[in-house]
Chains A and B, each alone.
Chain A
Amino acid sequence: MQLTIEPNNGMPIFEQVMRQIKFAVAEGTLVPGQLLPSVRILAKKLAVNPNTIQRAYQELQTEEVLESLRGRGIAVCAGAKRRCVSDRQTLLGQRLTAVVEDAIRGGLEPERLREMFDKAIKQATRNEGAQA
């Protein structure tokens, strides 16, 4: 699992870790039951404070994305994928809202915006189809 940390882009590091793990689960890169590296190892690999990783793991456990297996470490929960996918969609929704607000504020006409939106969807689905 490859994680990229940007410490100075404004988002807390633990949040970045959480988000990327969730995305990985949503994508299917991390399957339920797969063991994640320990706090110490992951912290060393990413060169971030272990407390940060600890907090990320803790929060993910609270959200029931990860679970702690006695004697074996931290693993992905069984029903995590569904939760992560919905979380991802929520995030995407937030991003969309922010983009739309920006556009409206920037003076873009709603009609024009809808046109651009449709075009983008068409483009994305076509690419998606080509890939699949």
Chain B
Amino acid sequence: MSDKTQKMVISVDHVSKKFGRRTVLSDVSFQVPSGCVFALLGENGAGKSTLIRGLLGYHRFAAGSVRVCDMDPQKEPMALRRRVGYVADAPGMYEWMTIGEAGWYASGFYAAGFLERYANLCADFTLPAEAQIRSLSKGMRAKVALALAMAFDPDLLILDEPTSGLDPLVRRSFLESMVDRAAAGQTVFLSSHQIHEVERVADWVAILHEGRLQVVAPLEDLKTQVRMLTFSLRDTLLALPAELDTLQILHRSCEGRSMRMMVRGMTAEIQAGLERDSNLFELKVLRPNLEELYLGYTQPVDPQANATEPQRVSDVA
């Protein structure tokens, strides 16, 4: 997975963006290897859409550089558009067109074969070619947008919150399409906050919080390296065992006599050491799911303490 000679489809290098006085992105860097499903998580307003739009060249970043498919989005917009498929959240489409007409319209700008692939996709999604777009439900509209973005077989597919507000059937459709593309060797860049879906299909995960990238890592690595630690204390006034200091604590919460921590770097020795401590009981070391990981990375380290947040390291494999 972390093959250094693998081609990078997207390279983002220390970009930042401000709107007026508000900083939307600050010092964001990551790379997306080719052929993977890359998920960008973040709350509303974290800057995901801004980042994506900048990737496509719809605005200039204040600092830093971006390369997508080995091209500068500002300098070669047309070439980029021929290789990258983009589905925006709330995609705008011509309401008066029928589904077939929309396909025909788009086909004029791509190489041959677009219409055939589009027809197949529409059949897969059970979209009637004669229906007018204005009469479609939200889910069908999203499917049309996806079909249009996939029909020219793009090397990179960028989806900005594609399934927000859609019913489970449509969401499932989207997931299957993403998986299909990944299996065919294309790259999928997905921004979402449907964490359960992301957990199924993502290879890589990046968490964006308040304009900063908290972590970028393969999902598997994250799940293997991060552990959820829960235990109860018999005496809360006693100091915690020293082994805990050797761990990187991502998040800690305390309720009465039970504590929960998300830690990184847990080893068998440390675990044994903790089990030996008499003050601790009911020690559990679990693999966190993505939701817990996300919450751990986006909430302040210690909600009760007012200490400055330790820097969370972003891990680029």
Measured CB to CB, the closest approach of chain B to A112, in angstroms, equals: 22
User: Which residues between 1 and 52 of chain B lie within 8 Å of chain A, taking CB atoms?
Assistant: 1, 36-37
The interface on chain B, measured as residues whose beta carbon lies within 8 A of the other chain's beta carbons, has a size of: 26
Cβ contact within 8 Å between B289 and A7: yes
- In the complex where A47-B172, A47-B175, A47-B176 touch, is A7 in contact with B182 (Cβ < 8 A)? no
CB pair B200–A7 under 8 Å, yes or no, is yes
Residues of B within 8 A of A4 (CB): none
Does B235 reach chain A (CB closer than 8 Å)? Answer: no
Question: Out of A5, A11, A39, A40, which one reaches B200, CB within 8 Å?
Answer: A5
Chain B residues with Cβ below 8 Å from A40 are 180, 183-184
CB of A10 within 8 A of CB of B179, answer: no
Contact of B199 with A by CB under 8 A: yes
Give every chain A residue within 8 A of B176 (Cβ-Cβ).
44-45, 47
How many A-B residue pairs have C-beta atoms within 8 angstroms? Tell me. Answer: 58
Residue of A nearest to B199 (CB): A7
Are B183 and A44 within 8 A (Cβ)? yes
**A9 and B36 alpha carbons, distance in the complex (Å):** 23
Check B287 for interface membership: any CB of A closer than 8 A: yes
Chain A residue with Cβ nearest B185: A50
Neighbour of B287 across the interface among A11, A43, A48, A50, CB < 8 A: A11
A51 interface residue, CB < 8 Å from B? yes
What residues of chain B lie closer than 8 Å to A127, measured between beta carbons?
none
- The contact of B289 among A8, A45, A50, A51, by CB within 8 Å, is A8
- Pick from A5, A12, A49, A51 the residue with the most CB of B within 10 Å: A49
Q: Contacting B291 at CB < 8 Å: which of A8, A46, A50? A: A8
Chain B nearest CB, measured from A64 CB (Å): 24
Interface of B is mostly: helix
**Is B182 a contact of A49 with CB atoms below 8 Å?**
yes
Q: Does B75 contact A (CB under 8 A)?
A: no
Given the known A-B contacts A40-B183, A43-B179, A44-B179, are A49 and B200 also in contact in the complex, defined by CB atoms under 8 Å? yes
Is A7 within 8 A of B196, CB to CB? yes
- Cβ of A13 within 8 Å of any chain B Cβ, yes or no, is yes
Q: Which of A5, A10, A46, A50 lies in contact with B182, CB distance below 8 A?
A: A50
The 0/1 profile, CB within 8 Å of B marked 1, for residues 32-66 of chain A is: 00000001100111111111000000000000000
- Per-position 1/0 for B262-277, Cβ under 8 A of A: 0000000000000000
Output the least CB separation between A8 and chain B (Å). 3
- C-beta contact mask, A87-127 vs B, less than 8 Å → 1, else 0? 00000000000000000000000000000000000000000
Known contacts A8-B290, A43-B183; A49/B196 CB under 8 A:
no
Which of these, A8, A10, A13, contacts B196 with CB under 8 Å?
A8
Instruction: Choose one: B180, B288, B290; the contact of A44 (CB below 8 Å).
Output: B180
CB contacts (< 8 Å) of A46 on chain B: these are 200
CB closest chain-B residue, reference A7: B199
Chain A residues, Cβ within 8 Å of B289: 7-10
Contact with A along B186-209 (1 / 0, CB 8 A): 000000000011011111000000
Q: Answer whether residue B220 sits at the interface, using C-beta atoms and an 8 A cutoff.
A: yes
Closest 4 CB pairs of A and B: A8-B289, A40-B183, A47-B175, A7-B199
Other A-B pairs beyond A10-B288, A12-B220, A40-B180, 8, CB < 8 Å = A10-B287, A12-B223, A12-B287, A39-B183, A43-B183, A47-B172, A49-B201, A51-B203
Report 18 cross-chain contacts, Cβ distance below 8 Å, ordered by A residue.
A7-B289, A7-B290, A8-B291, A10-B286, A12-B220, A12-B223, A39-B183, A43-B183, A47-B172, A47-B197, A47-B201, A48-B179, A48-B200, A48-B201, A49-B200, A49-B203, A50-B179, A50-B183
